[in-house]
Amino acid sequence: MDSSRGISRRAVLASAPALIAGALQAPRASAAALPFSQPTPIRSENGVLSTTLRVAFTRGTLAGVGDVNLRLYNGQVNGPTLRVRPGDLLDLEHINALPPNPDQASHGDHNVPHHFNTVNLHTHGMHVSPAGDADNVFREFTPYDPANGLTTTSYRSRIEIPADHPGGTYWYHSHVHGSTAVHLSGGLLGAIVVEGAVDRVPEIAAATDVVMCVAELKLSDGQVRQVPELRAENDLGAAESVFVVNGSFRPVIQLREGEVQRWRLINASAFTALPIRVEGHALHQIAMDGFALTRTVERDGVTLSMGNRADVMIRAQSPGEYRVMAGDTLLATMTVRSGSGVRMDLPTDLPGPAPYLDPREVTRRRSLTFHSDRNAFPGQPFPHAFRITGDGATPATRDAADPKDPTYGRFDPAYVNHTCRLGETEEWTLRNDSTGHSNHPFHLHTNHFLVTAVDGRPLATPVWQDTVGILRGGSVTLRVRFDDFTGRALVHCHQLQHEDRGMMQLVEYVE
């Protein structure tokens, strides 16, 4: 059971101006003139990072976008960056200053979006405990109840980071089933940086460390724009997608000719994969999903499914302006200024990866299929059904072949789909047989996995990830060893409106 405490209205009013002042900007003459800025960094001290994440509606002007009213961490359209080291403790106070849920009563169908003012915390990609007050996404940080005279509720997370945790780029967001898509599409997210061996590579240590967290805001039309509350299937599709980098719309980042920077690219979109490239420049990849590679790999660009991260080095070429693109979408502009003739070096050898998982270690194989049925529930506000079928599927109440069966393959918080034993290695094959959805990103909480094959073709170099896109009609094969932590966690599609609609399963890690 969660422990919570109330905060008086006087205390909240006294602190509110400091929390929201300057978070949203006054309008500017040109969105292209926005300078590049990084989220506020908060560093651990003496082995502890202690801070407060306050969630509240914040109203203001997002430069280049217009007037908005969004649920935000500490009044920012991208929460603070939490910078920690292996062995540290994340000690986080969560203050929910959102108003009561309009649907306060128990919701009849947990696989329909609901309770948008209830939040919690997921540290995406981190190998930490999923139980208790740690990375436990089954907790619910409920909003205040005016009947008790309080205006906020407060909760605490204490997340112990293992001493051997990989150094890399991770991120956090609210993960309450039924409201994940609404929360993420309003900017309720932030980066986590775990410092490690890769940071001590001389060429990497000499480069400026830049967080580039890309969020996809879904904003309705109107004088004050906000995220649709998802009362019907097409609410999201009717809203405009606005891509922001660190909370800014199309900012300008400046480099000197010959300068090398390290970019921590994070796809914090709930809906869209991002094929990121920079005009006239190669991206030199050094890490994927928090795991360093063995050698730097030069690429024309990197494609990140929803939830993925890639650390890349970029060396500024000739002076000029270059677009940072995600497909046809302009994310930012890189301006290269004339330099002093210094040409910084790029790294070659890197301190990765984690040990290889030998196929002879595999003790069990599972097969999961990401499946959707269009118009399974005709006449309902949400007529489509999103399921995970195959091994461990949630049992049907009627006939599993009946697309109108409301249960089979959809998330049931009382049903354990997979029991996984610590120390064992399994091989999972994931398939996407949906006809109308081109990408179902698979995300496993708590443990990274080794991607070994795509569409049945073995990879020459397997890659460690925590999220992997499964394209329509395709498959992904992975190996995973369950280490260190017991407790209940999740497997789900990271196109988050699908997760909210039931494309998720419960995993229990046991001794």
Q: Give 439's strand partners.
A: 471
DSSP string of 1-29, one letter each residue: ----EEE-HHHHHHHHHHHHTTSSPPP-S
Q: Model confidence over 207-238: pLDDT tens digits?
A: 999 999 999 999 998 899 999 988 898 898 88
User: Residues for the chain: how many in total?
Assistant: 511
Separation in Å, CA 358 to CA 1, 353, 452, 504, 509? 40, 14, 11, 28, 21
Longest dimension (CA), the chain: 72
One-letter amino acid identity for 206? A
Q: Model confidence over 262-300: pLDDT tens digits?
A: 999 999 999 999 999 999 999 999 999 999 999 999 999
Q: Which pLDDT value is given to residue 174?
A: 98
- Give the model's confidence band at 449: pLDDT under 50 very low, under 70 low, under 90 confident, else very high: very high
Q: Which pLDDT value is given to residue 31?
A: 40
Separation in Å, CA 386 to CA 50, 324, 357? 38, 34, 32
The token duo for 130 is 């999923």
| Pairing, β 81-84 against β 41-43 | parallel
Separation in Å, CA 359 to CA 90, 221, 424, 481? 35, 52, 12, 11
3-state secondary structure of 496: helix
Q: What is the mean pLDDT of residues 176-190?
A: 97
Q: Which pLDDT value is given to residue 33?
A: 59
DSSP letter, residue 467:
E
- Asked if residue 289 lies in contact with residue 308, where contact means CB atoms within 8 angstroms, the answer is yes
Lowest mean pLDDT among 147-156, 172-181, 196-205, 236-245: 147-156
- Give the model's confidence band at 428: pLDDT under 50 very low, under 70 low, under 90 confident, else very high: very high
Beta strands in 166-290 (DSSP E): 168-173, 189-194, 208-219, 240-245, 252-256, 260-267, 274-278, 283-288
270, with CB counted inside 10 A (0-12, 13-18, 19+), is: buried
Q: Which pLDDT value is given to residue 85?
A: 98
DSSP letter, residue 52:
E
151 has a pLDDT exceeding 80: no
Q: What is the mean pLDDT of residues 324-331?
A: 98
Gyration radius of the chain's alpha carbons: 22
| Those residues with Cβ within 8 angstroms of residue 426's Cβ, 6 or more apart along the chain or in another chain | 362, 363, 364, 365, 366, 420, 479, 480, 481, 482
| Pairing, β 152-160 against β 252-256 | unpaired
164 has a pLDDT exceeding 80: yes
| Pairing, β 81-84 against β 189-194 | parallel
Q: Which residue has the higher pLDDT, 107 or 317?
A: 317
pTM for this prediction:
0.93
Question: Tokens 């991208």 sit at which residue?
Answer: 78
Phi/psi of residue 499, nearest 5 degrees: -60, -45
**Residue 451 burial (CB count, 10 A):** 20
Question: Tokens 């069966």 sit at which residue?
Answer: 405
Report the percentage of the chain scoring pLDDT > 70.
93
3-state secondary structure of 157: strand
SS3 content of the chain, % helix, strand, coil (to 5): 10, 45, 50
| Those residues with Cβ within 8 angstroms of residue 441's Cβ, 6 or more apart along the chain or in another chain | 273, 305, 306, 307, 308, 467, 468, 469, 470, 493, 494, 495
Q: Which residue has the higher pLDDT, 421 or 19?
A: 421
Q: Which pLDDT value is given to residue 209?
A: 98
**Averaged confidence pLDDT in the chain:** 91
DSSP letter, residue 45:
B
17 has a pLDDT exceeding 50: no
Separation in Å, CA 425 to CA 208, 478, 480? 38, 10, 6
Q: Give 191's strand partners.
A: 171
Answer whether the bond into residue 80 is a cis peptide, omega within 30°: no
- Asked if residue 370 lies in contact with residue 503, where contact means CB atoms within 8 angstroms, the answer is yes
Q: Which pLDDT value is given to residue 231?
A: 87
3-state secondary structure of 34: coil
Q: What is the mean pLDDT of residues 28-37?
A: 62
Q: How far apart are CA 199 and CA 206, in angstroms?
A: 9
Q: Which pLDDT value is given to residue 172?
A: 98
Query: Side-chain half-sphere of 201: how many Cα atoms within 13 Å?
Result: 24
Q: Which residue has the higher pLDDT, 17 or 378?
A: 378
13, with CB counted inside 10 A (0-12, 13-18, 19+), is: exposed
Q: How far apart are CA 335 and CA 256, in angstroms?
A: 8
